[in-house]
A and B are shown apart, each in its own frame.
Chain A
């Protein structure tokens, strides 16, 4: 009952716990010890919920001893970006201001569903302030750090989620993705991340950013673990007005079906511009493995990215308008200044962006009549250095923050499901997006699983941890 769970996948932990070869409590204690040992470097956790986790683990062990069912994630430690409500904690959402909120009275829906499947919450994770970030840096809590090189960014805004899973502190974490905030940290930290279809997973009792574009989803070190977590969290939820009423469509048993006759193409044009050599190499490796040479164009992708930018800055400004008036000096100044500018965009231009979104969705829907999967870079580069503000591409100096998400924004803008898969380049990994039509997470995960089986997409072990 005391075998070492570190390095095991969530699926392996759950099997061992269910078979009573390992206790949920011993798994929890091992995770808490690893967090204590390594998070001094990674800074991925803002809260460790040790007492709660131990109580939950003991309850799972007691249920097993009584012969009761415990769920497919029995004893699996997980953590959540600190914009998820965790009962008893103020939902800080990476901010200083929200620390004054009363403690949450109830967990977020997705935490409740993970725990109903047997998982054990061990804490809340660092993030960029109010999720308006691609770097994983945070002026209040310090940056979460890259597990493969702590002098580099974890990626944002779910930086702590990427860092904690990439550093193997927990096998599963949850995060949010408005413009790329699951796919970017997955890419930088060398792990798998799923941004489901917009409306697939409930956002109830999570702190919002951009209602039109906010998604929640899981991070893991394997596709099977990603699928297990995703399946545990699916289902309608009246507490999130954007959550679809679709029934649960489980994928875990489908991911191993193989590629079959899936029609796969590379995203061309916009998605092949502004990429460093490492991103080109990662996409090329995936394309070779999948034997893909066809290229498709997502029409007006640059304009889609621009429209996503506009909707984001305006809805973000609207959300924070009163806080900008009353507590401007308690924001990260860079976030505050972006939000104030966002408040000043004329309304007709926002309406145009939302109308363009419908036009673009229809164009891409037509594209999915001819292909099932589109491959694109997740980020234009590997993780930049912490504090780095610019990089030089093709002789042109570009701002880092504004360019990290250029390949993710046109995808989340219309809610397409995408799996970020890690390509283990040396010295730093980088991700590739596997993009499917709306509601076809199963297809994206099938392709990701096939790449994992081929050894092309692998979450590398963190160096020095």
Chain B
């Protein structure tokens, strides 16, 4: 079976964040990541004005 392209991404991020990812956890992590990225892309696809402020605004 061909490796899922997300597996390379998971390996890179796990390394960068020093997160353990055991083989047994990988299918569930991949499935969760796949859903989260789809939803994040759905938000990203919505055009927002450049001036839009993010919700958390710091007050000094």
Which A positions have Cβ atoms within 8 angstroms of B?
212, 300, 302-303, 306-307, 309-310, 313, 321, 324-325, 328, 333-334, 336-338, 340-346, 348-359, 361, 402
Q: Which of B40, B42, B55 contacts A355 (CB 8 A)?
A: B55
What chain B residues lie within 8 Å of A325 (beta carbons)?
A: 18-20
A359 touching B43 by the CB < 8 A rule? no
A-B contact list, 23 entries, CB within 8 Å: A306-B39, A307-B39, A310-B36, A313-B32, A313-B36, A324-B20, A325-B19, A340-B25, A340-B29, A341-B36, A344-B14, A345-B37, A346-B40, A348-B44, A349-B37, A350-B40, A351-B54, A354-B54, A354-B55, A354-B56, A355-B48, A355-B55, A358-B52
A358 to B49, CA, bound (A): 11
- Judge whether A342 and B25 touch: CB under 8 Å: no
**Nearest chain A CB to B42 CB, angstrom units:** 5
User: Quick one: which of B41-60 are within 8 Å of A by CB?
Assistant: 41-44, 46, 48, 52-56
How far does the alpha carbon of A337 sit from the alpha carbon of B30 in the complex, in Å? 9
The docked-state distance in angstroms from the alpha carbon of A361 to that of B41 is: 20
Main secondary structure of the interface of A (DSSP, over half): helix
Which of A306, A307, A343, A354 gathers the greatest number of chain B CB atoms within 10 Å? A306
Cα distance, A324 to B17, chains bound together (Å): 10
Question: Which of B10, B35, B43 sits near A402, CB closer than 8 Å?
Answer: B35
Main SS of chain B's interface residues? helix
Which residues of the partner chain A approach B17 to less than 8 Å between Cβ atoms? 321, 343-344
Contact-residue size bin, chain B (C-beta under 8 Å from the other chain): 20 to 34
Q: A313-B36, A353-B43 are in contact. List 4 more A-B contacts (CB 8 A).
A: A307-B39, A310-B40, A355-B55, A356-B43
For chain B residues 15-36, which have a beta carbon within 8 Å of chain A?
A: 17-22, 25, 28-30, 32-33, 35-36
B19 contacts A337, CB within 8 Å? no
Q: Is the CB of B53 within 8 A of A358?
A: yes
Cβ-closest chain A residue relative to B32: A341
Q: In the complex, which residues of chain A have a beta carbon less than 8 angstroms from the beta carbon of B33?
A: 341, 344-345
Complex: A328 Cα to B32 Cα, angstroms: 16
Q: Which residues of A contact B36 (CB under 8 A)?
A: 309-310, 313, 341-342, 345
Chain A nearest Cβ from B6, distance in angstroms: 9
Closest A residue, CB atoms, query B44: A352
Question: What's the nearest-Cβ distance from chain B to residue A101, in Å?
Answer: 22
> How far, in angstroms, from A287 to B14 measured CA to CA in the complex?
50
The answer to whether B48 and A343 have CB atoms under 8 Å apart is no
Contact present for A306 and B19 (CB under 8 Å): no
Closest A residue to B24 by beta carbon equals A333
